[in-house]
Amino acid sequence: MSIQIPFSNSYGQLPARFYSRQPATPVSAPRLIAFNDALAETLGIARGSDDDMARIFAGNEVPPGADPLAQVYAGHQFGGFSPQLGDGRALLLGEVQAPDGTRRDIQLKGAGRTPYSRGGDGRAWLGPVLREYVVSEAMAALGVPTTRALAAVATGDAVFRETALPGAVLTRVAASHIRVGTFQFFAARGDLEALQALFDYTRARHYPDAETPDDLLVSVIDAQAALVAHWLSLGFIHGVMNTDNTTLSGETIDYGPCAFIDDYHPQTVFSSIDRHGRYAYDNQANVIVWNMAQLATCLVPLYDDADAAVERFTAAVHAMPARIEAEWLTRFGAKIGLSAPVEADRTLITGLLDLMARDGADFTNTFRALTDGQARDQFTDRAAFDAWHVRWQARLASEPQPEALMARTNPVFIPRNHRVEEMIEAAVSGDFAPFERLNRVLAAPFTDQPDAADLTRPPQPHERVQQTFCGT
Ligand code: AMP
Ligand code: MG
């Protein structure tokens, strides 16, 4: 039986300089690794046979209604501007209009070379494909706005990085793939007509109430402020917050060397390529403001009076840190059981975080243990924790149901980096059981699952992943 994807494409109606139309490059022996039935159902996609889906999600067959194209964009990578990036190893198959009315991109990642591949091979290997599958699905289950994973396919071809590795293709679903870098591409060329078309398209697709570029900027700032505060509340480090990896929709995108913190240290960096800690855990709030300033710069030419626009945009960007702080307070307040935290509660939260950092307490387990009274065990300086606990209990006295709030805010399970690495190693040697188990457990991250208690353990010293390679 053939898979049915109800395509309804719109990006391909934008001017031709927005993309390069082409099919994927076929692979030798496509084999389906995973298909996300629950996600497919929300998209109105009807499953086909495994062979059929393997062919389509490897790019060997173009499904009816698809309009495969590589999207062009630019971007600041680690602060330096690249005027020409684009989908170098990805292809937009098309969009579906889901039964709930929302429009979603269906994209193949690792589908072969495109005009934007530069020196790259256009391919992905199994490791990053499964990492993105597991982590993006875990993020969705945690309630974080994110791209999703619809399918993973093994290609049967080797991909050459430092060694020969098994190739794979990920099918990604996104509210759209419009990035800050998409605006930068046209702004850098002074292509006002394209900029206007992109603004109109983005507004219609994501923020129909935004009438002006000012409105759009504020909407994106709000969405990104909420997103990054949400990341921080879960100990998530994106790893490569380049402007080409920052969406207009406010979804998390491009899971490369991302990871969740185990023992809490605010300066934690995982990515092997982030040598100066630009995208460290506690720098993410600064970086997203910087990225929004880049978006603002692109929107200026849409106004005749540039000086006035700059003045208004500057104010909007300068207001962003306070937006993030407010979101942060709500998120971290909830983590300690406060349903309506106020400014005075901030020191209560940072007081706990400071103790955690001093003792290297596990971020996820400490917050979860606050609910069951076991948090003290996470600390070496127990007296300091006890003193904090007295302050906390006094504040909690006026809260109606702190336990319930904390239990739905502090996950039991996160995709711990050493488990993700272990899963990839197993998959490379042909064992997909850890991949399937991670997906199953992480689908209910707030639920105690006694048979998965091992997945709550922080890494032992020898299990600790020192660096996560971009290695895409
Ligand atoms: P990313 O690391 O996913 O943010 O990618 C940054 C840029 O490099 C994008 O333009 C990608 O399309 C491109 N790129 C990354 N890996 C490859 C590859 N293997 N082949 C071609 N282009 C790539
Ligand atoms: Mg990217």
> Are 140 and 230 part of one and the same domain?
no
pLDDT in tens, 326-349: 999 999 999 999 999 999 999 999
Pull the structure tokens for residue 231. Answer: 């990341």
Domain C-terminal end among 174, 208, 226: 174
The whole-chain average pLDDT of the chain stands at 96
Give the DSSP H/E element, type plus range, for residue 183: helix 180-188
Please tell me the predicted confidence (pLDDT) of residue 66. 98
Which pLDDT score, from 0 to 100, does residue 147 have?
A: 98
- pLDDT for residue 472: 64
The pLDDT assigned to 253 comes to: 98
CA–CA distance, 168 with 155 (Å, rounded to integer): 5
In a shared domain, residues 210 and 277? yes
pLDDT at res. 470: 57
Number of domains in the chain: 2
| Same-domain check for residues 167 and 184 | no
Residue 26 has, within 13 A of its CA and on its CB side, a CA count of 6
Q: pLDDT digit string (tens) for 276-309? A: 999 999 999 999 999 999 999 999 999 999 999 9
Strand partners, 34: 152
Please tell me whether residues 342 and 367 are part of one structural domain: yes
Same domain (yes/no): 167, 187: no
Let me know whether 51 and 132 are in one domain: yes
Q: Which of 151, 174, 197 delimits the end of a domain? A: 174
Residue nearest to atom 2 of ligand 1 (CA): 256
Residue 128 lies in a domain: yes
Give the model's pLDDT for residue 469.
66
Measured from the CB, is residue 117 less than 6 Å from ligand 1?
yes
Q: Quote the CA–CA distance of 237 and 229 in Å, as a whole number.
A: 11
- Do residues 246 and 260 share a domain? yes
Residue 440 inside a domain? The answer is no
Q: Are 243 and 294 in contact (CB under 8 A)?
A: yes
Determine if ligand 1 sits within 6 Å of the CB of residue 172. Answer: no
Q: Is 256 in the pocket of ligand 1 (CB under 6 A)?
A: yes
Atom in ligand 1 nearest the alpha carbon of residue 90: 12
Q: Report the alpha-carbon angle 110-112-116, nearest 5.
A: 100
Say what the alpha-carbon torsion angle 170, 275, 237, 382 is, to the nearest 10 degrees.
140
Whether 445 maps to a domain, the answer reads no
The pLDDT score that the predictor gives to residue 100 is 87
Residue 137 sits in which domain range? 11-174
127 & 191 share domain: no
Q: Which residue has the tokens 């490791």?
A: 127
Partners of residue 158 on adjacent β-strands:
166
Q: Does a structural domain hold residue 400?
A: yes
132 lines ligand 1 (CB under 6 A): no
In a domain, residue 447? The reply is no
Please confirm, yes or no, whether 105 is among the known catalytic residues.
Answer: no
Q: Tell me: do 200 and 231 sit in the same domain.
A: yes
Q: Are 165 and 159 in contact (CB under 8 A)?
A: yes
Q: Is residue 441 part of a domain?
A: no
User: Is the same domain home to 232 and 380?
Assistant: yes
SS3 51: helix
pTM of the entire predicted model:
0.97
Mutate to test the pocket of ligand 1, among 72, 85, 272 (most ligand atoms within 8 A of CB): 85
Same domain as 160, residue 215: no
Residue 5 within a domain: no
Q: Do 48 and 106 lie in a common domain? A: yes
State the distance from the centre of ligand 1 to the C-alpha of 70, rounded, in angstroms.
12
Is the shortest distance between the CB of 245 and ligand 1 below 6 Å? Answer: yes
Distance from Cα 89 to the centre of ligand 1, integer Å: 6
Q: Evaluate whether residue 262 is within a structural domain.
A: yes
Ranges of residues in the chain whose predicted pLDDT is under 50: none
- Starting from the CA of residue 161, give the closest ligand: 1
Among residues 87, 157, 214, 244, which one is catalytic? 244
Q: Which of 470, 37, 3, 57 lies closest to 275 in space, CA to CA?
A: 470
**Which one of the ligands is nearest to 252 CA?**
2
Which of these three, 124, 147, 174, is where a domain ends? 174
Does any ligand 1 atom lie closer than 6 A to the CB of residue 114?
Answer: no
For Cα atoms 142, 144, 89, give the angle at the middle one, nearest 5 degrees: 110
Dist. CA 271–CA 197, nearest whole Å: 36
